[in-house]
């Protein structure tokens, strides 16, 4: 079975102490993950080492950065390089979240550079893609997402693309309370896998986890994750509540 992942994206929320408490409460749930399951926590940069220490030795639990620079190193005040993340043993990095694209102007070519730097440093990119409302209303979402994947990922060799995790996030469903139906999620995940298959072949495409990100909650996680091409979720608001996120982890296939 493909890897199934519940990824928490804390965004710019929680104090250090609140983050510690959230992880402590969640770990008390004592959820035993299977070999193909992962619980990943994308925490703010100042909390990376704390979260790594909290999760050390917990099977299937891992820490992720929420972003990295597209530059290897240099005079870029305030930026964090992939090599820096590697030096503190961070195994994942979220790239291309819709908020980074919208608020910070990140484009597909910039993200292609970030992907390469992560892979060079043995960091698994959680690569986000997805369409805004006006694209969905124009029924152009498949072409829109295909362009994001093509321009950011399709320069990768077969062995490199296998190391990517993709997160499909319908932007119109993030933080709005609106959620794509399970059928809508499955339709887009299936399209993404078919697009990957056309480029890399079925064997490779069927190994790549595709997460759903768009108002995932404990109440809808089982239905969403039950879809054949949905391999877990990238979870925002619901990941800030330990019991809610625990129920999402338990919903993994």
In the residue annotation, 97 being an active-site residue is answered as yes
Distance in angstroms (rounded) separating the CA atoms of residues 50 and 200? 38
Among candidate residues 97, 99, 106, 131, the one labeled active-site is 97
Contact at 8 Å (CB) between 19 and 10?
Answer: yes
Q: DSSP assignment, residue 1?
A: -
Q: Where are the beta strands (DSSP E) in the chain?
A: 4-9, 37-42, 61-65, 92-95, 124-129, 165-168, 210-212, 232-235
Distance in angstroms (rounded) separating the CA atoms of residues 9 and 213? 10
In the residue annotation, 131 being an active-site residue is answered as no
Contact at 8 Å (CB) between 29 and 59?
Answer: no
Among candidate residues 106, 169, 189, 244, the one labeled active-site is 169
DSSP character string of 130-151: ---HHHHHTT-HHHHHHHHHHH
Query: Could you give the 3-state DSSP secondary structure of residue 63?
Result: strand
Contact at 8 Å (CB) between 100 and 185?
Answer: no
- Active-site residue numbers? 97, 169
């Amino acid at each position: 079975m493909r890897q199934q992942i519940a990824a928490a994206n804390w965004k710019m929320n929680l104090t250090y102490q609140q983050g510690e408490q959230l992880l402590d409460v969640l770990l008390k749930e004592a959820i035993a993950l299977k070999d193909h399951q992962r619980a990943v926590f994308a925490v703010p940069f100042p909390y990376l080492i704390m979260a790594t220490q909290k999760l050390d030795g917990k099977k299937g639990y891992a820490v992720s950065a929420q972003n990295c620079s597209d530059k290897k190193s240099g005079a870029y005040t305030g930026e964090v390089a992939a090599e820096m993340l590697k030096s503190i043993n961070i195994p994942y990095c979220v790239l291309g979240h819709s908020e980074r694209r919208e608020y910070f102007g990140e484009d597909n070519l910039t993200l292609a550079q970030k992907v390469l730097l992560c892979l060079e440093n043995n960091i698994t990119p959680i690569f986000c893609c997805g369409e805004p409302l006006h694209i969905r209303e124009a029924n152009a979402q498949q072409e829109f997402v295909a362009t994001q994947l093509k321009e950011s990922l399709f320069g990768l060799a077969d062995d490199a693309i296998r190391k990517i995790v993709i997160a499909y996030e319908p932007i119109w469903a993030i933080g709005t309370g609106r959620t794509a139906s399970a059928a809508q999620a499955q339709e887009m995940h299936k399209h993404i896998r078919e697009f990957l298959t056309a480029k890399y072949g079925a064997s490779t495409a069927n190994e790549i986890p595709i997460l759903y990100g768009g108002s995932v909650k404990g109440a809808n996680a089982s239905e969403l994750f039950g879809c054949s091409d949905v391999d877990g979720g990238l979870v925002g608001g619901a990941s800030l509540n330990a019991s809610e996120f625990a129920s999402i982890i338990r919903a993994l296939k």
